[in-house]
Amino acid sequence: MIRINKNESPVPSLSEEKIREIIQETPFFRYPAEEHDRFVEAYAKFHHLDPKCIAIANGSDEWIQKFMILLGEGPMMTLDPDFSMYEGYARQLKRPVIKVPCNDDFTFDEERTVQAIREHKPSFFIFSQPNNPTGAMHSDSFVEAIAAAVTEAGGYLVVDEAYLEFSSRSYEKPTGDNVIVIRTLSKIYGLAGLRIGVAVSTRNTIEMLNSIAHPYPVNSLSLNIGTYLLTHEDDLRAFFSRQRALSDKLKEIFSETVSDVIEVLPSETNFVFTYGKNAPSLGEYIMEKGFLPRLYKDDRLKDVVRYSIAEEKDLERLHEVLKEWRAKL
């Protein structure tokens, strides 16, 4: 099966030869103190950030789990739908969960969200920007309204930017000690198996987040591969462009072939979100043809199927499969 359900990169960001070279140069017998510092410096330089305002963990999932421990004792609030592990980690650690439901068209109402924050006063509000699973960017006004309401309620705002680098759009980012941004090298960087998650905030908040950090949260090889990519900026940006081109092709295929019979949401990510009465039928047909899309058990998402990028040749085959299915209707 061709896996298009995990929103991973379908291609590696480094050659096998370069990976072997990095492996040979990695001192596995030593703790990765220097590797950690080099990675933080490289990430800060690439993104024009203060190194003191960055902390790393074993994937952004580790950050999400840590937030359940560190960010107050009240409820966690998120959107519905959003990344399922927000709720998953909250349940693991007995954190109360409040979800703000979407509209029927999978958009979110600003006033309803602000009212929920004012009513429940969450210890923190976490959401993905762009949204996972819909792929849509939240508007500046929506983000600003949430940030203001959370600040007024005395909570933290966590913005998960896992897919932001796929987007052609930017947004006005809230700032302050109560704002934390999390990022990952799993998506556009093509390093999902290396588990590197980055938190960005003020120096005060990063110091607080590091209060329960492991001494060496990320292994030497992951750090060295990440540092190599970040310090070879031209090559990395060229890889980003290839990733975005695959994403554009995926969206074009769905828009041109099936958007007249299923709902295909505009996406700012490396996946497309489809829904409607015909969407499950297409998902099942695609599975019969050797592709594995993302299906959902949740009642709200029972008519939803999500598809992520694949290699060029696989996208071409997927296009043919979509045309076959469309012709049968």
Confidence class for position 77, pLDDT limits 50, 70, 90: very high
Q: Fill in the DSSP letter of residue 157.
A: E
Average pLDDT value for residue range 62-77:
98
Q: Which residues of 200-214 are buried (b: 16+ CB within 10 A; e: fewer)?
A: bbbeebbebbeeeee
Average pLDDT value for residue range 57-66:
98
Cα 132 from Cα 113, distance rounded (Å): 17
Confidence class for position 172, pLDDT limits 50, 70, 90: very high
Region of 73 (left: φ > 0; alpha: ψ -120 to 50; beta: rest) is alpha
Report whether the peptide linkage leading into residue 81 is cis, meaning its omega lies within 30 degrees of zero. yes
Average pLDDT value for residue range 34-56:
98
**pLDDT confidence of residue 197:** 99
pLDDT tens-digit series, residues 175-199: 999 999 999 999 999 999 999 999 9
Q: What is the pTM of this model?
A: 0.97
Q: Domains of the chain, with CATH numbers?
A: 2-10+235-327 (3.90.1150.10), 16-232 (3.40.640.10)
Inform me whether the pLDDT recorded for 299 exceeds 90.
Answer: no
Cα 183 from Cα 159, distance rounded (Å): 9
Quick one: 123 exposed, middle or buried, by C-beta within 10 A (0-12, 13-18, 19+)?
buried
Average pLDDT value for residue range 212-221:
94
**pLDDT confidence of residue 287:** 98
Name the residue among 294, 282, 287 with its Cα closest to residue 328: 282
Inform me whether the pLDDT recorded for 70 exceeds 90.
Answer: yes
Inform me whether the pLDDT recorded for 313 exceeds 90.
Answer: yes
Q: Fill in the DSSP letter of residue 139.
A: P
Contact between residue 32 and residue 219 where contact means Cβ atoms under 8 Å apart: yes
pLDDT tens-digit series, residues 116-167: 999 999 999 999 999 999 999 999 999 999 999 999 999 999 999 999 999 9
| Interacting residues of 133 by C-beta distance below 8 A, sequence separation 6+ | 81, 82, 83, 271, 273, 294, 296, 301, 304, 306
CA 214 to chain centre: 23
The residue to which tokens 């979100």 are assigned? 273
pLDDT tens-digit series, residues 11-34: 999 999 999 999 999 999 999 999
Contact between residue 159 and residue 181 where contact means Cβ atoms under 8 Å apart: yes
